[in-house]
Amino acid sequence: MDENLNTEELIDQLKGNKVLKGFTIAVGVIVVIVLGIFGYNRLIVEPGEAEASDYNSTAISLLQKDSVDLAITEFENQVAEYDGYNQGEMAQFQLASLYFDKGDYQAALEEVEGVELNDEFVASLAKGLEGDCNVELGNLEDGIAAYVTAAERRKNELTTPHFLFKAAKVCEEVKDFEKATEIYQTIIDEYPAFANQNTVEKYKARASNSTAK
């Protein structure tokens, strides 16, 4: 990967990577931002993490070539060898995302639950992936809790409404229409751009009508 790429160019490249499309569907456009940050971390990596960073570039190169299983092996090796380093934790997050993309939700959940990151933004994305895994495994209440935590961990205009929206929709699945209505209203009030783009008013009306029945 060309280390002269800026974050926007890296994101543009990753948007076209077929390996990531399944996971992108699962968590929206957020994953490309994660990998953009990941590439950025490679450029500012601390001296003690340099070797792990070089190892990671191999795994990302394999992803660009659509060699998913080989990339998984690379990430597994990095997680085992560099556990506790920031790059090792980031590799574990990437490993979890690849497991999820392949449909191995239990393995993805086990990996992402072990991720410990200092960056609150990326940590919120990991928590969102935890929510995705739980929902796929049928643990809906755990999924809701993870989504809400992900939304509140580092409030911003992108991830916060995204995960709140997911939480609200799962609330409807468990027939907690009152909570769903409340969350939809929060999105409408605090994140109007997201609400308008995703017709959240429609979802709120549906949940509210279900509450009234």
Reported as a single tens digit per residue, the pLDDT across 12-35 is 443 444 433 333 334 433 444 444
- 106-138: pLDDT as tens digits: 999 999 999 888 878 888 889 999 999 999 999
CA quadruple 199, 204, 206, 207: dihedral positive or negative?
positive
**Residue 9: is its pLDDT beyond 60?**
no
What are the angstrom distances between the C-alpha of 159 and each of 31, 49, 77, 107, 141?
11, 28, 30, 24, 20
Q: How far apart are CA 7 and CA 37, in angstroms?
A: 7
- Please report the pLDDT score of residue 7 as a whole number: 38
User: Which residue in 68, 59, 65, 70 sits closest to 35, CA to CA?
Assistant: 59
Q: Nearest 5°: CA angle at 121, between 173 and 86?
A: 120
Instruction: Give the mean model confidence (pLDDT) for residues 144-164.
Output: 92
Q: What phi and psi, each to the nearest 5 degrees, are found at residue 198?
A: -110, 15
- Please report the pLDDT score of residue 135 as a whole number: 94
Instruction: Give Cβ neighbours of residue 78 (< 8 Å, ≥ 6 apart).
Output: 52, 55, 56, 59, 87, 88, 91
Instruction: Count the Cβ atoms, other than its own, within 10 Å of residue 76.
Output: 17
**Residue 181: is its pLDDT beyond 60?**
yes
Q: How far apart are CA 127 and CA 115, in angstroms?
A: 9
| Whole-model pTM over 0.85 | no
- Please report the pLDDT score of residue 68 as a whole number: 75
Ramachandran area for residue 120 (φ above 0: left; ψ -120 to 50: alpha; else beta): alpha
User: Which residue in 196, 135, 127 sits closest to 170, CA to CA?
Assistant: 135
